């Protein structure tokens, strides 16, 4: 009989590891990573993914004092949420 497991993923940490390994960070990569966490004796019940959408807006840079506009897109979180077994918990990014 297989054990039922839940997988908890910190999106920011996984993104930093993927960037260091020069891997594309997208919903397919995240789903593949989550699936690889289970052994043959385990069945995934739920994958809980915590992250926040990219910052959108203007912020004053602390050293130079210049204003920088940040543009982001959160559609990838919606795509990830539509995948089987995934539950997304969204945080808020503030400057």
In the chain, where the domains are located: 3-91
At residue 48, the pLDDT reads: 98
CA atoms within 13 A on the CB side of 66: 4
pTM of the model as a whole? 0.82
At residue 72, the pLDDT reads: 83
At residue 18, the pLDDT reads: 97
Mean pLDDT per block of 10 residues along the chain (95 residues) reads 96 96 96 97 97 88 92 89 95 76
Asked if residues 76 and 27 have their Cβ atoms less than 8 Å apart, the reply is yes
The CA distances from residue 60 to 5, 64, 65, in Å, are 44, 8, 6
């Amino acid at each position: 009989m297989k054990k039922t497991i839940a997988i908890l993923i910190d999106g920011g940490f996984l993104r930093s590891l993927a960037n260091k390994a020069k891997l594309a960070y997208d919903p397919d990569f995240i789903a593949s990573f989550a699936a690889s966490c289970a052994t043959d004796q385990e069945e995934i019940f739920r994958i809980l993914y915590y992250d926040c959408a990219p910052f959108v807006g203007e912020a004053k840079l602390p050293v130079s004092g210049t204003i920088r506009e940040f543009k982001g897109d959160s559609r990838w979180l919606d795509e990830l949420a539509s995948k089987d077994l995934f539950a997304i918990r969204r945080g808020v990014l503030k400057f």
